[in-house]
Structure 1
């Protein structure tokens, strides 16, 4: 078969021919192998770049670059190999045919790169593509051979010709398989493997070329004139082609490496941007957590303070007014205690939405400061705007709310302070609004109050009193006990004393309990104060025993807050033991509200105290709420009727009936009855007539200190047999039975020196 002047499977003539002896330049052969290896390595590298490129345009670019590197390497190897061919005849090459072979090499290389551009091609896909690529490379080689012109006729050995095609297909298949496995991977081992694969592929390409050259036979007729070859510069031309090819391929590899680094930098930049985005999201989340309340999604205390400071700066420079509305939900603790904290949280969400819907615009700031405390910051033209806003909130808050299967109605107390009248700083305005809120709660709740300077003066005084009270307790100075006699109507003797605390203040003089008991309860001092009273009363009781009053009892008041402490029984036992006083001579007075607040725990504590031998009395009976079912279970000894039921007797018939009923009920429960606040003889006579056991009040004596107590007791007790009741004079004047000095400051016109029961 003859194609383009080449005889592929045509047998040589038997005679008349001379087969020329041809050879190859070893240096050019080695140079051809180097070029083939470099082209193969570049192709493998470009396959990696195609696999790592993210944009379609970049993938197409590196596919063409890879095809160009492979085609240039194969064609340059072929060209240098042809230059290495040495024949004993004159030869020359046709440039157009050589360029045509380059085009064929480029098409075959493109087909290889296109096949490798698909991720994970199968073996059969690689085999199919390698056949076409191998045929293309073989076509490139043999088309390039047609560019060789000489006086000799070219014949090919069929077996070697076929072997060269098989080698081209095998080299293509190896290139496809190796490239598909080297697409992913990094590190030194990966690079060494890629270099080794380049050497193997280069060897395959060179083997194909020189197998084809081994199949070549140049034949001359015997009678033809053999023209010897002229001097040529094949070595110089081969070196030039090799250097140019290597420079081009090297530039492509350098560009690929630079692109790889750039891509890595872009990925690093993307990761940095992603991290920055995550950090920004985290910052926003932290901002949300730091400045917003998670339950109601309102601004929290930190965020409110920040906005508040900004608004103050703005109003300070531009002028204008701000109002701070401090809100506290009335009796919110009852919801948590009765329905649970989950219901309380749901209620807070609803109340927050009510408050939010009451504001005028986005300029008004609503914040939850914690618990059931809310705060509003609004701009206004005059104070009445703040009042109207607060009134809207009060009305909105009263709307019924469905909660845990119940309809509940909540109210709120509001305190208001105004900038710049009531303060110039955030702290001052918030503190003043809180003082106004305190006034609202003290005035019955469900209302609003503006701050005024009186509140600040009172708060300052209370703070000062708190500090001085702490000092008085710590140094045991200024505090003292006064005692008021409790008269036994059956024996005609003073059998009990009520211990009443007083505070001899260095500036304000003698302070009654109502001036500092509330301060002690609000600031955690009440337990210490009650313990001081208990110890002092037991100590004074021991002193009275030494003065001959061995039968006297002392009643000591117990704060409702102190009644919930488990340590109270131990403190009572310790005070009795230190003073050496019998427990039966101590009586503990508690209010009925304190008893009923937590009846289960209170009952346990009262039984412990009762087990010590200490008597128990329920104080101010009738002013609170109590259940008779629980009252009969309590280990009580005495019931004390509040003074509010006595003060209008005998003018108030209803009060007289109430007192009679209480006395009957108490005696039914086997309780003794003490009536306090007795100031007139008519009240005394009424109580005696209806079976009251004890009386206490100004009719007997005002509370007096321990040093003045003994004369008062002697005066009252010695009147028993001195005269009859009818001989008592209740008018003003001087009488042998009257001693106004004993009862200084008694209200009204009654100053009775003694109370004497008739002799029965």
Structure 2
């Protein structure tokens, strides 16, 4: 087979002379190998840049540049290796064929770079690309060999020729795999892998060339004369081509390195831009979370304070008026307790929608926390604020379907007006809050405007709270007065009810109704009850030591104190500390205090009663009475509230109620105490109907502990003092018959003595 003057897959001619004295210049061979390594390394870099390029134009640019670099390197390696070939013949090169070999090298390199541009390479893609590239390299080699003009015929052995083609294809396959595998990565290890891959690829290309050269045999015909080799410039030409090829590879590497740095900076800038965008999003989310309520999407307290301050500044500049409304949902806690917090959250969303629907678009609506909302609106007259509040209250009464139930909620509203009720946001909010408490105190589902009287009362309550806290801490100013409770059967003092008093340095002696509510609101009631319990036990222990062994002391226990599991142990410790027997103590609890967690309450009362302490139910008939609960409670005494006795014996219904209570109590084996006995007729009525114990101003008013012994001694001498005369009262004792007997200085938790 003859192709371009080359005898491929043919036998040597029978005649002719073989050129055996052929060798290669070692230096040029080393230069050719170095050029191939540099070209392969630069090509791998071009392939890497091509895979990282995001712009299609950049893809094409790096593909073309890589193809030129690879083609130039392969062609230069081939041409320098041909220049290194030495034979005893005159050697010339055909320019057109040499140029054609370069074009074939460019085509093969372009095929290689194009194969690497696939996102997902399959095995058939690698194989197809390797065959085409390998054949292209072989074609380039043999076209270059055809350009070799020596006057001798070139014959090629079939076996080595096939080996040359196989090496070219395998080298191309390895190059594609390595280039695709090394397209991503960085660092020293990646660089070393890429350098090793370049050496391997260059070795394959060089092996392809010299396998083809080994397959070649030069044959001179008999009539062709031998010609001596004249002086040539092969060394200079080879080095020049190597220099140009290396310069091209270096330029490509420089471009790749510059692009890599530029792309890295672009990536950094893009990453920074993305981070900035994320920070903006996070900032917006934080702004949303910081200033808006996640449940209702209304402004929260922080956002409201900021917007309200801005709105207030605008109103100051314009000279207009503002109304600040505090809203509190009535009995919202019952929803959470009965239906759960999830239902409560759903209810808050509906309520927020109702409030927004009742207000105008320019009004400021916020949820300050829990079930508290606030509305700020511009107005000209106070009536506008009243009408808006009434619209909100009316809209709140729309039925709401929640948890399978249809319910109607109400709200209490407090209103303050700028500039009448304050000039700053803090003042307006505080005064609206005070007006809200006024609405809640007046039965809820109402609205109230702020007035200066509310501020005075709030200031006084705050002062009393601070001073009460100090009085409890230092045990200074608090004292206990005792009101005797008489046994109707024998007329003796059977019990003493401990009633707390506060000797205030500015306001004088304060009755419990002035400070018990403050103590309950601010978490001081448990400490106050415990202090009274200890003092009462200590005082009675002293009386017992002086001969009053049959006396008992009754101590009031608030609902909040009754809710503490530690109460039983505290009662026991108070008795032990005073050295008083448990049978001398009686705890009084109100009906309302018992109606909480009834199961837990019964368990606690049983533990207290197991100590030997008696239990009585105070203010019976004024709370949520339940006979079913009453029969389960471990009680000893039932105390009739004074409100039932006020119109006795003139009011027939009250008389019948008292008779029924006494009969019911005796049926349940309970003793009966009637408080508020202030007239002889009341005393006679109770005595006639079997009331066990009597207590009231007719018999004795509450006395300080220091005044008890002489009164008890006087009563002991008389034995049956149903009604005391003024002559029996020791000098210095308080008036037992005040001008206004209807006024009672003592109050329990519900307007009664403590």
Distance between the aligned counterparts of 1:679 and 1:426, measured in 2? 52
Q: Summarize the alignment of residues 18-417 of structure 1 with structure 2, pairs less than 5 Å apart.
A: 24-85=24-85, 92-118=92-118, 121=121, 125-147=125-147, 153-159=151-157, 163-164=160-161, 166-185=163-182, 186=185, 187-210=187-210, 215=216, 217=218, 219=220, 222=223, 231-316=231-316, 319-361=319-361, 363-369=363-369, 371-417=370-416
State the distance in 2 between where 1:174 and 1:14 align.
36
Q: Secondary structure at the match of 2:414?
A: strand
Quick one: distance in 2 between partners of 1:5 and 1:554? 136
Could you say if the C-alpha distance between residues 23 and 454 of structure 1 is closer, same or farther in structure 2, counting changes exceeding 3 Å? same
Instruction: Identify if the C-alpha distance between structure 1 residues 562 and 53 changes in structure 2 by more than 3 Å, giving closer, same or farther.
Output: same
Q: 1:711 to 1:119 in 2, by over 3 A?
A: closer
Q: Is 1:745–2:745 an aligned residue pair? A: no
Distance change (3 Å), C-alpha of 1:159 and 1:583: closer
Kindly report which structure 2 residues correspond to 1:440-451, keeping only aligned pairs within 5 A, or say none: 440-451=439-450
Q: Shift in Å at residue 516 of structure 1?
A: 0.9
Mapping for residues 279-678 of structure 1, pairs under 5 Å: 279-316=279-316, 319-361=319-361, 363-369=363-369, 371-545=370-544, 549-678=548-677
**CA deviation after TM superposition for structure 1 residue 17, in Å:** 7.7
Residue 439 of structure 1 deviates from its aligned partner by 1.4
CA deviation after TM superposition for structure 1 residue 110, in Å: 1.5
Q: What displacement does 1:508 show? A: 0.6
Paired with 2:131 and 2:597, the residues of 1 have a C-alpha distance of: 96
Is the contact between residue 482 and residue 704 of structure 1 (CA under 8 Å) also seen in structure 2?
A: yes
- Are the structure 2 counterparts of residues 503 and 239 from structure 1 closer, same or farther at C-alpha, using a change threshold of 3 Å? same
Distance of 1:534 and 1:223 partners within structure 2: 139
1:452-471 deviation digits (Å, cap 9, x = unpaired): 22222212211211222222
Question: 1:650 touches 1:683 (CA, 8 Å); kept in 2?
Answer: yes
Structure 1 length-normalised TM: 0.86
Contact 2:174 2:201 in 1 (8 A): no
Q: Find the aligned partners of 2:48 and 2:228 in 1 and give their Cα distance.
A: 50
C-alpha distance in 2 between matches for 1:8 and 1:566: 109
Whether the 8 Å CA contact 1:417–1:451 is kept in 2: the answer is: yes
* Cα shift at 1:560: 2.1
Q: CA deviation at 1:424?
A: 4.2
Aligned-partner SS, 2:494: strand
Contact 2:126/2:177 (<8 A) preserved: no
In structure 1, the residue matched to 2:750 is none
Q: Name whichever of 658-667 and 90-99 sits farther off.
A: 90-99
- How far is the alpha carbon of 1:343 from its aligned partner? 3.2
Shift in alpha-carbon separation, 1:136–1:715, aligned structure 2, 3 A: closer
Counterparts of 2:593 and 2:720, CA distance in 1 = 41
Question: Do the aligned partners of 1:554 and 1:586 also contact (CA within 8 Å) in 2?
Answer: yes
- Counterpart secondary structure, 1:360: coil
1:681 is matched with: 680
Question: For the structure 1 residues 487 and 39, does the alpha-carbon distance in structure 2 shift closer, same or farther, using more than 3 Å as the test?
Answer: closer
Distance 1:568 1:43 in 2: 88
**Structure 1 residues 262-271 or 674-683, which shifts more?**
262-271
Contact 2:588 2:617 in 1 (8 A): yes
Give the Cα–Cα distance (whole angstroms) in 2 for the partners of residues 741 and 195 of structure 1.
112
Structure 2 CA distance for aligned equivalents of residues 223 and 341 of structure 1: 111
Structure 1 Cα separation of the partners of residues 471 and 30 of structure 2 = 109
Moved more, 187-196 or 448-457: 187-196
Match of 2:254, SS state, is: helix
CA 1:405–1:696: 2 relative to 1, 3 Å = same
Deviates more, 1:407-416 or 1:454-463: 407-416
Q: Would the aligned equivalents of 2:41 and 2:198 in 1 still touch at CA under 8 Å?
A: yes
Native 8 Å contact 2:95 2:147 kept in 1:
yes
Equivalent-residue separation in structure 1 for 2:350 and 2:297 (angstroms): 12
- Partners of 2:497 and 2:554 within 8 A in 1: yes
1:741 Cα shift?
8.1
2:748 is matched with which residue? none
The answer on whether the counterparts of 1:134 and 1:165 sit within 8 Å (CA) in structure 2 is no
Output the CA distance in 1 between the equivalents of 2:469 and 2:19: 128
> 1:251: Cα distance to partner?
0.6
Partner residue of 1:699?
Answer: 698
**1:358–1:239 distance in 2 versus 1, CA, 3 Å:** same
Taking structure 1 as reference, are residues 584 and 74 closer, same or farther at Cα in structure 2, changes over 3 Å only? closer
Change beyond 3 A, Cα 1:547–1:250: closer
2:443 partner SS: coil
Q: Is contact 1:133–1:169 with CA below 8 Å preserved after alignment?
A: no
What's the CA shift for 1:443?
0.9
Root-mean-square deviation (CA), in Å? Answer: 3.8
Report the Cα distance in structure 2 between the residues aligned to 1:26 and 1:584, rounded to whole angstroms: 123
User: Any gaps of 5 or more consecutive residues in structure 1?
Assistant: 751-760
Alpha-carbon distance in structure 1 between the residues aligned to 2:161 and 2:590: 116
Cα distance in 2 between the residues matched to 1:41 and 1:522: 83
> In the aligned structure 2, how far is the partner of 1:178 from the partner of 1:3?
29
Compared with structure 1, are the counterparts of its residues 669 and 164 closer, same or farther at alpha carbon in structure 2 (3 Å cutoff)? Answer: same
Report if the CA contact (8 A) 1:292-1:303 is conserved: yes
Q: Distance in 1 between matches of 2:449 and 2:65?
A: 83
How many angstroms apart in 2 are the aligned matches of 1:276 and 1:736? Answer: 92
Q: CA deviation at 1:284?
A: 4.3
Provide the C-alpha distance between the structure 2 equivalents of 1:591 and 1:54, rounded to a whole number of angstroms. Answer: 81
Matched residues in 2 for 1:9 and 1:154: separation? 17
Cα distance in 2 for residues equivalent to 1:398 and 1:308: 28
Q: Deviation per CA, 1:587-627: give whole Å up to 9, x if none.
A: 32222222233322222233333333333322222211211
Deviates more, 1:66-75 or 1:82-91: 82-91
State the number of aligned residues: 738
Secondary structure at the aligned position of 2:157 is classed as: helix
Question: Which segments of 5 or more consecutive residues in structure 2 lack a partner in the other structure?
Answer: 744-754
- Cα distance, 1:180 vs. partner? 1.2
Whether the aligned pair in 1 keeps the contact of 2:112 and 2:176 (CA below 8 Å) is: no
The CA deviation string for residues 554-611 of structure 1, in whole angstroms up to 9 with x for no partner, is 3322222222223333333333344444443433222222223332222223333333
Question: Quick one: distance in 2 between partners of 1:598 and 1:156?
Answer: 113
